């Protein structure tokens, strides 16, 4: 597989070619995605929940992100890698946003950064793009600031809020993002956004009328057990398979069925007595 570039996002959209992106937070999962047909990995701050067991993405730090992005870049050399910017790492000033993006990019060699926010973040995004950073936007349900709209809820459900989302999408495009994630909005609203901007829309819980579908790998493979949002389809049931495998190991350990000579080092060795000859 040939690694996508920033320019391929627009190319795929213009050619009407759909694509997909998934998350990974570690070397092994990244290497599995790299071997699959999926072309893009997001090392999302969702790792706060999926990897670190927090209830939200808010506590995730830049150091956490770097710690997880590095092994993913190593494990998926043929896959486009997005590094997420965590809460508090870009909302102080344009300078802070540029410095955080510089650090994430230099220390991990990921292919772009992603941050949350609409028209309010447009000046920051403009400054980052002018500084030579590849920026992906993220609007709709933005988990880092979800407390301001009462939790993880569908956005754009009223004509006014739908209009605002379209304005946000346009502001991001004008600010220079090369693509944007749209999360948890009614399908018709995502479609309207899609029609009003030229850059690709990457939908998660945003219905079928977008350029790309995004899901968290641990969600789509049925690994994460805490909850399942409506928009998540289980394409496999890996959690159950893992529990089955663990139980089998446990059972064979107790029964002595494991390990057989096949899984043991069988060289005959004469062991000298500890009491001497």
Q: Is 214 in the site for ligand KIV (CB under 6 A)?
A: yes
Q: What is the dihedral of CA 5, 25, 45, 64, to 10 degrees?
A: -110
Q: Check if the beta carbon of residue 122 is closer than 8 Å to that of residue 176.
A: no
44 or 83: CB nearest Na ion: 44
Q: Is 190 in the site for ligand KIV (CB under 6 A)?
A: no
Q: What is the dihedral of CA 38, 40, 43, 44, to 10 degrees?
A: -90
Q: Which does 8 bind (CB under 5 to 8 A by kind): ligand KIV, Na ion, none?
A: none
DSSP-assigned beta bridge partners for residue 201: 180
DSSP-assigned beta bridge partners for residue 183: 140, 204
Q: Which does 23 bind (CB under 5 to 8 A by kind): Na ion, ligand KIV, none?
A: ligand KIV
Question: Tokens in use for 4?
Answer: 């996508």
Is 95 assigned to a binding site?
Answer: no
* Cis preceding linkage at 259, omega within 30: yes
Strand pairing report for 179-183 and 40-43 = unpaired
Q: Check if the beta carbon of residue 217 is closer than 8 Å to that of residue 23.
A: yes
Catalytic residue list contains 183 = yes
Question: Tokens in use for 80?
Answer: 């486009």
Provide the 3-class DSSP secondary structure of residue 234.
coil
Is 114 assigned to a binding site?
Answer: yes
Binding letters toward Na ion, positions 11-50, x by CB under 5 A = ---------------------------------xx-----
Q: Is 221 in the site for ligand KIV (CB under 6 A)?
A: no
Footprint on residues 230-269 left by ligand KIV (CB under 6 A): none
Say which of 39, 99, 183, 251 is annotated catalytic: 183
Q: Which does 39 bind (CB under 5 to 8 A by kind): Na ion, ligand KIV, none?
A: none
Footprint on residues 35-64 left by ligand KIV (CB under 6 A): 42, 44-46
Which secondary structure element, helix H or strand E, spans residue 242, and what is its range?
helix 238-255
Footprint on residues 80-99 left by ligand KIV (CB under 6 A): 84
13 or 138: CB nearest ligand KIV: 138
d(CA 21, CA 82): 10
As a residue count, the chain comes to 277
Q: Which residues participate in catalysis according to the annotation?
A: 183
For Na ion, the binding residues (CB under 5 A) are 44-45, 84
Binding site for ligand KIV (CB under 6 A): 23, 42, 44-46, 84, 138, 181, 183, 204, 214, 216
Could you list the residues known to form a binding site for Mg(2+), using ranges: 45, 84, 116
Residue numbering of the annotated binding site for 3-methyl-2-oxobutanoate: 45-46, 84, 114
């Amino acid at each position: 597989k040939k690694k996508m570039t920033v320019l391929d996002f627009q190319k795929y959209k213009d050619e009407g070619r759909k694509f997909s992106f998934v998350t990974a937070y570690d070397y092994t999962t990244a290497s599995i995605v790299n071997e699959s047909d999926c072309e893009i990995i997001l090392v999302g701050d969702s790792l706060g929940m999926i990897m670190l067991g927090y209830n939200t993405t808010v506590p995730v730090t830049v150091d956490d992100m770097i710690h997880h992005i590095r092994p993913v870049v190593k494990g998926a050399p043929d896959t486009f890698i997005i590094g997420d910017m965590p809460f508090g790492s870009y909302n102080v000033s344009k300078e802070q946003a540029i410095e955080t993006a510089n650090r994430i990019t230099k220390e991990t060699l990921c292919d772009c950064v992603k941050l949350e926010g609409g028209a309010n973040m447009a000046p920051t995004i403009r400054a980052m793009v002018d500084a030579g950073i590849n920026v992906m936007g993220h609007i709709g349900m933005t988990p880092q600031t979800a407390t301001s709209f009462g939790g993880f809820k569908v956005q754009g459900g009223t004509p006014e809020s739908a209009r605002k989302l379209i304005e946000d999408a346009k502001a991001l495009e004008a600010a220079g993002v090369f693509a944007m994630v749209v999360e948890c909005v009614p399908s018709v609203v995502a479609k309207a956004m899609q029609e009003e901007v030229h850059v690709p829309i990457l939908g998660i819980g945003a219905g079928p009328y977008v350029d790309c579908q995004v899901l968290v790998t641990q969600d789509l493979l049925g690994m994460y057990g805490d909850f399942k949002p409506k928009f998540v389809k289980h394409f496999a049931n890996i959690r159950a398979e893992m529990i089955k495998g663990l139980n089998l190991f446990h059972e064979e350990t107790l029964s002595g069925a494991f390990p057989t000579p096949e899984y043991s080092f069988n060289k005959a060795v004469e062991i000298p007595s500890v009491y001497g000859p």
